[in-house]
Chains A and B, each alone.
Chain A
Amino acid sequence: MSVSIVGVGLHPFGRFDISGREMGLVAARAALADAGLSWDEVDFAAGGSRDGGHADSLVSDLGLTGVPFVSVYNGCGTAGSAVHTCVQAIEAGTAEVALAVGFDKHARGAFASSAAEYGLPDWYAEDGMMVTTQFFALKIQRYLHDHDLDPLLLAEIAAIALRNGSITPHAWRRRAMPADEIAAATMVNDPLTSFMFCSPSEGGAAIVLTSTERARQMSARSIELRALAFRTRRFGTFEVFSPWLAPDIAAGATVDAALAAFETAGIGPEDIDVAQLQDTEAGAALMHLAECGFCAAGDQDRLIRSGALAIDGTLPVNTDGGLIANGEPIGASGLRQIIECVLQLQGRAGDRQVPGEPRTAFTQVYGAPGISVCSVLAR
C-alpha cells in the first residue's frame, strides 16, 4: 500500500458532559493540527457513529467546503470501515488528503439490540437469548474447554489492560487491579466477571491520511499504513446473535483479515513490535491473540505468563488499556487503536511508551455480526 498517517487526534474516552459530535470535532481538529493542515486542504472524509449523531454533519462545524464525506456503520468495526473508505479513495487517486473520524456516546449498560434489525424472530430477544455478553461467555467457555486453558488467564489478561490503562491519560478506567480481584468480582455471565468486560462509553478519534509520497514531503515522522484488510464472516463461524451454529466451526473473519493484512505488508506476526487487539472482554483478547497469528490456539498461557504482553515484553498488547480500560465508543474505538500504534511508533506514548523504539505495529477491530478490520503500520 502507499498510504501514510500524518496526523492523529483524540478526545479522551469515558463519560463527559458534551455531545458525541463535539467529541468528534475535538478529535478532528486535533488530528488536523497534528498534521499541520487546515480543513480546507482535506479533499475526502469518512466517519461513523452509532449513537452520537451523523458523522457527515461535522461539516457544519468544520466548514462547508463541499468535501465528499461518507458516513459509515459496521457495528464495533465502524472506525475500521471509515479508515478503509479513506484508504480506498487515496489508493484510487480520487483523494489526496483524507480525514477518518469516529465518535460516540452510548447509554450505560450492555447494548440493547433489536431482533428484527438482525433478521431474527422476536421470541429470541423476548426469551432472554439476545444479549451480547452471553455470546462472549458461551464462546470462551467452549474455547477454554477445547484448548484446555486455565480460566484464570481471563483475569490475568484483563489485569494487563487495566494496568496499562492506569498510566494512560485518555483512558476511562485508571485503576490497576490484581488478577485475583478481577477473578473474584461479580460474575456477569460465567466464566466472565464484571471487570473482564469493556463497557459502552464515549469518546472521539480521528486521523489524517495521505499518499506515502506526499507524507514523506510533509513530515519526518509520518507512519506508513502498510496494510489494511477488511473481511466479513464466512459460513460456519461462531458469531453473536446466533440461534444456531453449524456442527463444524469455521475460522472467524479476524483470521482472514489478519492473514490478508500480513500478506499485503510482507511481514508476519513475529515481526510486530506492538499490537492493539479487540478486547471487548477478556475472552476475546485471549482468542484474538491466536486468531491474529501471535500464538497457536491454546498457547496463550505461555504468552501471558511469560510477561510477553506487558509494555516491556516482547509483544506489548493494548498498551493504552484497550477496550477494557477505555470502554467502547463504537464509532471511535478502532481509530483509538490505530492512534495508539502511531504514538508508539513515533515515541510519543509517554509513561506507557514501549522501550526499544518499536518499528512495526498491528491493530485488529472486530464487530457484530462477524466483521474484522486489521492493519499493519510501520515507520
Chain B
Amino acid sequence: MSDVVARGLIVDVDGEERLVGARCEQCATHAFPVQATCPRCGAPMSAVALAAAGTLWSWTVQRLEPKPPYRGPQPFEPFALGYVDLGVVRVESRLEGKPESAWQIGDPVRLAAGPANEAGEIWSYRFVSDADRGHG
C-alpha cells in the first residue's frame, strides 16, 4: 500500500491501518484528509490517526458510472458509499462487504485498504462491513 501511504491517507498503528486526519491545535476540530489550517478557526492543524472502526451515518448507491476523472474498476459495477461516523469526524468512503442496496444507517464498519490501480499501487481506502461487532 505504498501509494496511499505516500499520499498520507493511511498510517500503520501497531499493525492496524488507520486513516490520517488533522486535529486543530487550538480548538480540537478534526478534518479529513490532512489540511494545514483549521476550517473553523484558522489555527494550525497537525496529523492524527483516526479510529479504525465506526458506524454508518448515511449511505447511497452510485448506479451510473461517474464521468472522468473517475478511474475505478472496469467494467463499472454500481457501488455503495456513505459517511462513516468515527466520533471526532465523519469520513466519506466507498463501502464493501454487503450487497450495495443492503446497507442501513447504524451499520458497523471497519477500515480496509482499497483496491489497486493499474500500476499495482493501492490508491484509496474502503470501509467494509464489520458485522461481527454488531449494532451499538
Contacts and interface: CB of A to CB of B under 8 A. Distances in A.
A127 B126 CA distance: 10
Nearest to A244: B32
B63 A187 contact: yes
Interface string B106-136: 0000000010000000011000000000000
B89 A189 contact: no
A142 interface: yes
Contact of A121 (B33, B71, B87, B90): B33
Interface in A182-200: 186-191
Nearest to B93: A129
Interface stretch (A132-140, A208-216, A290-298): A132-140
Contacts of B40: 235-236
B95 to A, nearest CB: 11
Interface in A122-165: 122-123, 125-131, 134, 137-139, 141-142, 145
A247 B31 CA distance: 10
B64 A129 contact: no
Contacts of A131: 62, 66
Given A142-B105, A247-B87, A129 B7 contact: no
B99 to A, nearest CB: 12
Contacts of B94: 127-129
A247 B88 contact: yes
A138 B60 contact: yes
28 contacts: A112-B67, A122-B69, A123-B9, A126-B72, A126-B123, A127-B94, A128-B79, A130-B66, A131-B62, A131-B66, A134-B62, A137-B60, A142-B105, A145-B58, A186-B63, A187-B61, A188-B63, A189-B62, A190-B59, A190-B60, A190-B63, A191-B60, A243-B32, A244-B30, A244-B91, A245-B57, A246-B90, A247-B90
Contacts of A122: 69
A123 B29 contact: no
Contact of A246 (B29, B61, B64): B29
A244 B92 contact: yes
Contacts of A123: 7, 9, 123-124
Interface residues of B, number: 43
A93 interface: no
Contacts of B60: 134, 137-138, 141, 189-191
B81 A128 contact: yes
Interface string B50-88: 000000011111111011111110000001011101011
Interface of A is mostly: loop
Contacts of A129: 81, 92-94
A222 to B, nearest CB: 43
A138 B81 CA distance: 9
B59 A138 contact: yes
Interface of A: 109-110, 112, 115, 121-123, 125-131, 134, 137-139, 141-142, 145, 186-191, 235-236, 242-247
B97 interface: no
Nearest to B38: A235
B106 to A, nearest CB: 9
Which 7 pairs of residues, A with B, have the shortest CB-CB distance? A137-B60, A142-B58, A244-B32, A245-B90, A112-B67, A127-B124, A235-B40
Nearest to B60: A137
Interface in B3-21: 7, 9, 21
A246 B60 CA distance: 19
A121 B72 contact: no
Contacts of B81: 128-129, 134, 138
Given A127-B124, A134-B62, A142-B58, A247 B85 contact: yes
B62 A128 contact: yes
Nearest to A121: B33
A145 B62 contact: no
A147 to B, nearest CB: 13
Given A129-B92, A188-B64, A138 B72 contact: no
Nearest to A111: B67
Nearest to A235: B40
Contacts of A125: 66, 69-70
A141 B31 CA distance: 23
Nearest to B29: A246
A142 B7 contact: no
A247 to B, nearest CB: 7
Contact of B89 (A134, A139, A191, A246): A246
Contacts of A110: 67
B66 A189 contact: no
A112 B68 contact: yes
Contacts of A247: 85, 87-90
